[in-house]
Amino acid sequence: MRKRIIVTGGAGFIGSNLCDYLLKNGHEVVCVDNFDDYYDPKIKRNNIEHALTHPSYTLIEEDIKKTEKILEQIHGNFDAIIHLAAKAGVRYSLKHPVGYEESNVVGTKKIIELAVKKNIKQFVFASSSSIYGNSKAPFKEDNIDLKPISPYAQTKLLSEKTGKEYAESGKIRFISLRFFSVYGPRLRPDLVMNKIAASIYQNKELNVFGDGKASRDYTYVDDIIQGIIKSLDYTKSNYEIFNLGNGNPIKLIDIIEMFESASSKKVNAVFTDSIQGESSITWADNSKAIKLLNFEPETEIKNGIQNFINWYLEK
The residues that are catalytic are: 152
Q: Are 131 and 242 in contact (CB under 8 A)?
A: no
Which amino acid, one-letter code, is at 176? S
DSSP lists the bridge partners of residue 240 as 175
The alpha carbon dihedral of 57, 60, 65, 69 has a sign of negative
- CA 250, 254, 260, 261 torsion-angle sign: negative
**What are the φ/ψ torsions at residue 26 (nearest 5 degrees)?**
90, 15
* Contact status, residue 288 vs residue 141, Cβ threshold 8 Å: yes
Determine the straight-line distance between the first and last CA of the chain, rounded to whole angstroms.
Answer: 34
> How big is the chain by its Cα radius of gyration, in Å?
19
Give φ, ψ of 61 to 5 degrees. Answer: -90, 95
